[in-house]
């Protein structure tokens, strides 16, 4: 995937804090404020205007989850057409396993517009870019968002960035009105900006404001999750030790190869506190995994940690 085309994003940099060097990590809150209404966009304005949940990731410049001029990924297609976050989240998780991303960004949607919704996430100098999208609903395949937004200004974390949001077409459905039926675009065409009807030309749908909440020179922020493996390297088995915060609703623990393919799904406990699960080096098909490097991913309520392990024969 190509690097995000940041030149296409209109944003305003406000004053930044003075810092001697870029701290190891920072916490941001992103607030999506929608101004989309029958007043701002009167043509064919839907009576049930809303947005799907916010979804995206924190990443580096080696990966882009969408860009104008690129074909939409499966995750972007499903987000833009159905408001589904599942596959796009999996694409971010695959980037986490590959080392190009450090976290999924997942937040709520807007049941009505105008309105606002916020999501908080951590960034680091290794992964200082943010991508966030949301489906404009109802619509054939239209969405708003930012791609690869750099939260740094030189050696400083930016205090605030305000991105003005205009609609995009994912290029996967050929409908022309908000409530058009499902008419697949085959073959799909690249993602593009929507500059005309039914949206009022030149009038934005809202803003996405990124505000610095905290920054620290310590190595990592206070962990919501923890995951380790011992022995590592291992043969024939390793114990995966993990810590869960309280009130976790869902937990997924799995092993992937270096290409991001699922090797083994494990069965973790959902109890808060320290837990452990044994991986015996066997795949879901019941055969012994080959020697090499694998990545264990722990996902709990949208938070992800990854541990690299090495199986030696």
- Do residue 117 and residue 210 come from a single domain? yes
The pLDDT value given to residue 22: 55
Within a domain: residue 144? yes
The pLDDT value given to residue 313: 79
- Do residue 47 and residue 166 come from a single domain? yes
Smallest CA-to-CA distance from 98 within 206, 175, 1 is with: 1
The pLDDT value given to residue 23: 58
- Do residue 239 and residue 204 come from a single domain? no
CATH number at residue 232: 2.60.40.1930
Q: How far apart are CA 131 and CA 117, in angstroms?
A: 16
Q: How far apart are CA 254 and CA 277, in angstroms?
A: 11
* DSSP sequence for 201-243: TT---EEEEEEEEEEESSSSPPPS-EEEEESSSBSS-EEEEEE
Domain count, the chain: 2
- Do residue 34 and residue 62 come from a single domain? yes
The pLDDT value given to residue 218: 53
Strand-strand pairing, 25-34 and 206-216:
antiparallel
- pLDDT by residue for the chain (313 residues), tens only, comes to 333 333 223 222 233 333 335 557 889 999 999 999 999 999 999 999 999 999 999 999 999 999 999 999 999 999 999 999 999 988 988 888 778 888 889 999 999 999 999 999 889 888 999 999 999 999 999 999 999 999 999 888 999 999 999 999 999 999 999 999 889 999 999 999 999 999 999 999 999 999 999 887 654 444 467 888 889 899 999 999 888 877 777 888 999 988 788 999 998 877 777 888 999 999 999 999 999 889 998 888 777 888 889 999 7
- Do residue 195 and residue 238 come from a single domain? no
User: What range does the domain containing 89 cover?
Assistant: 6-216
- Do residue 183 and residue 69 come from a single domain? yes
pTM flag (> 0.75): no
Within a domain: residue 1? no
- Do residue 208 and residue 270 come from a single domain? no
């Amino acid at each position: 995937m190509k690097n995000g085309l940041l030149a296409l994003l209109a944003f305003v940099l406000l004053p930044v804090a003075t810092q001697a060097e870029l701290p190891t990590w920072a916490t941001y809150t992103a607030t999506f404020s929608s101004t989309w209404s029958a007043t701002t966009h009167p043509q064919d304005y839907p009576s049930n205007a809303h947005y799907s949940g916010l979804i995206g990731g924190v990443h580096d410049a080696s990966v882009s989850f969408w860009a104008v001029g690129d074909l939409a990924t499966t995750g972007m297609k499903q987000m833009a057409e159905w408001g589904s976050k599942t596959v796009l989240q999996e694409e971010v998780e695959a980037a986490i396993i590959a080392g190009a991303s450090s976290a999924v960004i997942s937040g709520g949607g807007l049941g009505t517009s105008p309105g606002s919704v916020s999501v908080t996430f951590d960034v680091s100098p290794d992964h200082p870019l943010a991508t966030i999208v949301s489906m404009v609903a109802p619509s054939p395949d239209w969405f708003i968002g930012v791609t690869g937004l750099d939260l740094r200004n030189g050696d400083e974390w930016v205090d605030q960035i305000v991105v003005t949001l205009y609609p995009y077409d994912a290029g996967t459905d050929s409908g022309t009105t908000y409530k058009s039926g499902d008419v697949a675009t085959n073959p799909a065409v690249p993602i593009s900006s929507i500059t005309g009807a039914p949206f009022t030309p030149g009038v934005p749908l809202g803003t996405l404001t990124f505000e610095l909440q905290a920054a620290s020179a310590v190595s990592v922020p206070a962990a919501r999750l923890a995951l380790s493996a011992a022995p590592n390297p291992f043969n024939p088995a390793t114990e995966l030790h993990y810590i869960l915060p309280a009130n976790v609703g869902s937990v997924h623990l799995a092993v992937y190869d270096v290409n991001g393919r699922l090797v083994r799904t494990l069965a973790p406990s959902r109890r808060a506190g320290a837990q452990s699960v044994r991986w015996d080096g066997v795949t879901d098909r019941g055969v012994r995994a080959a020697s090499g490097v694998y990545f264990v991913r722990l996902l709990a309520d949208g938070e992800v940690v990854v541990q690299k392990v090495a199986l030696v024969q």
